[in-house]
Chain A
Amino acid sequence: MNEHTPIYTAPEEQVAWMGTDPIPAKAYYDPEWFELERRAIFMRTWLEVGHVCELPEPGTWIRRELEFAQASILIVRGKDGQIRAFYNACTHRGTQLVEEESGKGTNFLCPYHFWNFGDDGRLVAAPDFNRFALTKEDCKIPKVSVDTCAGLIFVNLDPAPKQTLREFLGDFADRLETLPVARATTFHEYCYDIDANWKITYDNFQENYHLRHVHGRTGIATVHADNLYGYPTGYTFHGKHRTQTIWSNPEPQIKPMQGYNFGLAAKIGMEQGIIGGPEDRTYFAVFPSLFIIGTPIQHFSHKVYPISATRSRGVFRVYWIGEGDTATKRYAREYALAGIRDIHTEDVNIINRAQKGLLSGAIKNVHFMSMEGLCRHLYQQVVAEVEAYRNESQPAGERA
């Protein structure tokens, strides 16, 4: 009798260093802890909020609402081609300048008293301005730090960020630049609002333990007798960030049109030179709450925005290079988009239930097994950030 040699081995040794301690459940619903996370992390960390293809030419701008900060941000490509960001607020009495999600124009006119700002946030003109005890220079809109990597636009609400975006991303920066998103020109987007803590939402997407149960139909191609859960082949850790390497099932169960449709997408991907890249199977988890997947056919990013201790919003974007200018391109894109959205829909349903079960406080701890190591890593990084913030906030003599 021949002995079976498994074609998959779980990379458990790569996560063993994080230990096996239970995780306090309170971190997933307690408003006081959330407030610490908000201040320690989201108010002073680089956060992805868009893509440069949304600002295709000078004078184009987008508005982003960051509810955790009660902030509305304008991100503008100026006449000089530079991308800048500032608050969507008139410096006269705080009125929001624009309500539209995006637009084109080199000036922002406050509808209240017609203060007029340039594309760099400077006050250009204001009616009867000599009655104010101000100079126009005093009236510049507070800027928000902004930078890009791989076409992705990041902002940082810290008035004086401690790191540049490149320093923050470390070696991820160059790796992200190799992804199709760096060449993307357009995208589909779908969003969900959910009654769940941002970490519960995010954690769902960084473990595969649930695949077999939650995605039993849509994820059937990942299931193999030697890897029933479609676990990754490897994990890596880079400061606050982490990756997993997606396993390729050598014997996937493929349905007839599924095979045909992905074949079309693969052919298009080959023509565009995006198949076979060094990060094709890498799933990047960028601290605190961005994912971007290297797979070129359903190349998506997923951003989880915290809203409250028990509410968050997810924004998925499936990026494309070039216009869908032929029937086959458009058909292949529509199929890929609908399929990945189907899978994500199943995730959202189960996340809702995960949060509900914790709210009573009866469950004191949650538990991550070895193949949920990325969830443990996120929790540990969050704790480290909160502790650092607490330490900085204490008077000098009382610091740990």
Chain B
Amino acid sequence: MSNQLPDGYAVLEPFVDYWAVSGTANRDQRRSDSTPAQRNAFYAIAKDLVPQALAQLDAKPIAELDDKERRLLDLLLSFTHVTHAVEMLTDGEARHAKFRKEMRITRQPAE
């Protein structure tokens, strides 16, 4: 599916279906279920777009974002999880994911 994001983010469209999910726990779960190839591809494409995307989304309060903008925000929020996997855990991510599920997220203040 295309045109799910605001104009200017077409390169991120392939990542929307998997990564644009609401809720911290869901985003963490996507990180845990993903392959290194999925994470590395997302990281490589998205990292340079983060400043521009945040600046664009900051122009409105979150409550006023339209569906495409909201999807872009969800994508960015998942990207924060992917960043930890790619930059910090590297090849230790799979083992780490096994233990991470024991650390249950029991409260998340915003979706």
Are A348 and B102 in contact, CB atoms less than 8 angstroms apart? yes
Say which residue of A187, A190, A258 sits within 8 Å of B109 (CB atoms): A187
Task: Please measure, in the bound complex, the distance between the C-alpha atom of A334 and the C-alpha atom of B24, giving whole angstroms.
Answer: 7
- Quick one: which of B35-87 are within 8 Å of A by CB? 43, 47, 50-51, 53-54, 57-58, 61-63, 65, 73, 76-77, 80-81, 83-84, 87
Task: Please measure, in the bound complex, the distance between the C-alpha atom of A284 and the C-alpha atom of B100, giving whole angstroms.
Answer: 25
Known: A217-B90, A220-B88, A346-B96. A338 touches B110 (CB 8 A): no
Are B104 and A191 in contact, CB atoms less than 8 angstroms apart? yes
Known: A186-B109, A188-B108, A346-B99. A217 touches B76 (CB 8 A): no
Task: Please measure, in the bound complex, the distance between the C-alpha atom of A214 and the C-alpha atom of B98, giving whole angstroms.
Answer: 15
Known: A258-B88, A324-B62. A188 touches B24 (CB 8 A): yes
Q: Which residues of A contact B73 (CB under 8 A)?
A: 327, 330-331
Say which residue of A256, A320, A330, A345 sits within 8 Å of B87 (CB atoms): A256
Q: Which residues of A contact B106 (CB under 8 A)?
A: 189-191
Judge whether A148 is part of the interface by a CB distance below 8 angstroms: no
Task: Please measure, in the bound complex, the distance between the C-alpha atom of A325 and the C-alpha atom of B96, giving whole angstroms.
Answer: 31
Are A342 and B89 in contact, CB atoms less than 8 angstroms apart? yes
State the Cβ distance, A319 to closest chain B Cβ, in Å: 10
Are B62 and A345 in contact, CB atoms less than 8 angstroms apart? no
Give the interface size class of chain B: 35 or more
Are A338 and B80 in contact, CB atoms less than 8 angstroms apart? yes
Contact residues of A: prevailing secondary structure: helix
Say which residue of A188, A217, A326, A345 sits within 8 Å of B102 (CB atoms): A345
Are A342 and B88 in contact, CB atoms less than 8 angstroms apart? yes
Q: Which residues of A contact B27 (CB under 8 A)?
A: 334
Judge whether A344 is part of the interface by a CB distance below 8 angstroms: yes
Are A337 and B96 in contact, CB atoms less than 8 angstroms apart? no
Task: Please measure, in the bound complex, the distance between the C-alpha atom of A326 and the C-alpha atom of B90, giving whole angstroms.
Answer: 30
Task: Please measure, in the bound complex, the distance between the C-alpha atom of A331 and the C-alpha atom of B110, giving whole angstroms.
Answer: 11
State the Cβ distance, B100 to closest chain A Cβ, in Å: 5
Task: Please measure, in the bound complex, the distance between the C-alpha atom of A220 and the C-alpha atom of B90, giving whole angstroms.
Answer: 13
Task: Please measure, in the bound complex, the distance between the C-alpha atom of A255 and the C-alpha atom of B92, giving whole angstroms.
Answer: 16
**Chain B minimum-CB-distance residue to A336:** B80
Task: Please measure, in the bound complex, the distance between the C-alpha atom of A220 and the C-alpha atom of B87, giving whole angstroms.
Answer: 11
Are B89 and A218 in contact, CB atoms less than 8 angstroms apart? yes
Judge whether A261 is part of the interface by a CB distance below 8 angstroms: yes
Say which residue of A258, A323, A324 sits within 8 Å of B83 (CB atoms): A258
Are B103 and A192 in contact, CB atoms less than 8 angstroms apart? yes
State the Cβ distance, B106 to closest chain A Cβ, in Å: 5
Are B57 and A341 in contact, CB atoms less than 8 angstroms apart? no
Q: Which residues of A contact B105 (CB under 8 A)?
A: 188-190, 341
Known: A217-B90, A325-B62. A330 touches B110 (CB 8 A): yes
Q: Which of A327, A334, A342, A349 has the most CB of B within 10 A?
A: A327
Are B80 and A331 in contact, CB atoms less than 8 angstroms apart? yes
Task: Please measure, in the bound complex, the distance between the C-alpha atom of A123 and the C-alpha atom of B51, giving whole angstroms.
Answer: 58
Task: Please measure, in the bound complex, the distance between the C-alpha atom of A336 and the C-alpha atom of B35, giving whole angstroms.
Answer: 23
State the Cβ distance, A288 to closest chain B Cβ, in Å: 22
Are A218 and B109 in contact, CB atoms less than 8 angstroms apart? no
Q: Which residues of A contact B89 (CB under 8 A)?
A: 217-218, 342
State the Cβ distance, B74 to closest chain A Cβ, in Å: 10
Are B100 and A345 in contact, CB atoms less than 8 angstroms apart? yes
Q: Which residues of A contact B81 (CB under 8 A)?
A: 334, 338
Say which residue of A187, A190, A256, A342 sits within 8 Å of B96 (CB atoms): A342
Judge whether A339 is part of the interface by a CB distance below 8 angstroms: yes
Are A339 and B84 in contact, CB atoms less than 8 angstroms apart? yes
Q: Which residues of B contact A331 (CB under 8 A)?
A: 50, 54, 73, 76-77, 80
Q: Which residues of B contact A342 (CB under 8 A)?
A: 84, 88-89, 96, 100
Write the residues of chain A forming the contact surface with B, with a CB cutoff of 8 angstroms.
186-193, 217-218, 220, 255-258, 260-261, 264, 317, 320, 323-328, 330-331, 334-335, 337-339, 341-342, 344-346, 348-349
Which 4 residue pairs of A and B lie closest in terms of their CB atoms, listed nearest first? A327-B57, A189-B107, A255-B87, A335-B80
Write the residues of chain B forming the contact surface with A, with a CB cutoff of 8 angstroms.
24, 27-28, 43, 47, 50-51, 53-54, 57-58, 61-63, 65, 73, 76-77, 80-81, 83-84, 87-90, 92, 96, 99-100, 102-110
Subset of 21 A-B contacts with CB under 8 Å: A188-B107, A190-B106, A193-B102, A218-B89, A220-B88, A256-B87, A257-B43, A257-B87, A260-B51, A317-B107, A324-B62, A324-B110, A327-B73, A327-B76, A330-B77, A334-B80, A341-B28, A342-B88, A344-B103, A345-B103, A346-B99
| Besides A330-B73, A330-B77, A345-B96, 6 other A-B contacts (C-beta < 8 A) | A191-B103, A323-B110, A327-B76, A331-B54, A345-B99, A346-B96
